[in-house]
Amino acid sequence: MSDSWKPKWQNFRHRNWETVRDSWIDCVPEFPAVGARPDPGLEGLDPLLQIPLDKPNNRYPDVPGLRANSLWEAVFLFHKCSHTSLAAQRIAQMGMHSWCLFNAYHSAYLGAKGIMALLGIAFPNLRSTQVVLDLCPEPERKKRRRALGSPAFEEFLIVPLPPLEQRRVWEAFRRVLNISESTCWDTSLRREILTQLPRFSGSRIDTKRLAQF
């Protein structure tokens, strides 16, 4: 992992999927159709666009629509992942194996972004500035006891980023897998992904290796 990017990914701290999952329950949007594009989506969400991005790390209280749009984008990413995976399989059956690898890689990439989105990590471009959002940051000061019925997460973190290459997203994905826990995950598969994800150097991505996952 590039030293210049490592501090940015270290903003992501430990999270438990069961806690994050329960926090989504009150944020489920009304989907107009299966596979519908998020409306307006994070990049078009006006309260989010009004937030200044002139600080290296910004912690803010939730804004209206933030979590519903984030969840919608996670679902949308998984729809795209599923369709792209199916396309890869059909292209492989037709004998076009090189094209199949590109589609399989794209499916894996969308799936990785979808997993991160479900765990509260999103990568919108806000007013021409690439940022990463963490909707599940650890509180600055731990509360003694959370009031019954209050949300588990009431703040989010914005970290401005340089132009984002796909290899950086894979670095972020490795970080998120390392810091997250869940009882529903296949631990052996998770361990294999963490072991086999290539350690990126330069701009080369081993699409054949990643497509296997």
> Would residue 167 count as lying in a domain?
yes
> Would residue 201 count as lying in a domain?
yes
> Would residue 95 count as lying in a domain?
yes
pLDDT digits (tens, 9 = 90+) for 128-176: 999 999 999 988 766 555 555 557 899 999 999 999 999 899 999 999 9
Domain that holds residue 145: 6-24+63-211
CB 79 within 8 A of CB 172: no
Mean pLDDT (whole number) for 97-103:
90
> Would residue 37 count as lying in a domain?
no
Please name the residues in contact with 183: beta carbons below 8 A apart, sequence gap of 6 or more: 17, 18
> How many separate domains does the chain show?
1
> Would residue 135 count as lying in a domain?
yes
**Mean predicted lDDT score pLDDT of the chain:** 88
Residue 89 has pLDDT above 50, yes or no: yes
> Would residue 88 count as lying in a domain?
yes
Q: CA-CA distance, 174 to 169, in Å (whole number)?
A: 9
pLDDT for the residue 198: 61
Element (H, E) at 72: helix 66-93
- Residue 201 gets which letter from DSSP? -
> Could you count the other beta carbons within 10 Å of the beta carbon of residue 186?
10
The tokens describing 124, both together, are 């919108």
Element (H, E) at 129: strand 129-134
pLDDT for the residue 151: 73
> Would residue 139 count as lying in a domain?
yes
Residue 123 has pLDDT above 70, yes or no: yes
DSSP reduced 3-state for 104: helix
Instruction: Please indicate whether residue 198 or residue 131 has the higher confidence score (pLDDT).
Output: 131
CB 57 within 8 A of CB 11: yes
> Would residue 47 count as lying in a domain?
no
**Tokens 């991160």 belong to which residue?**
116
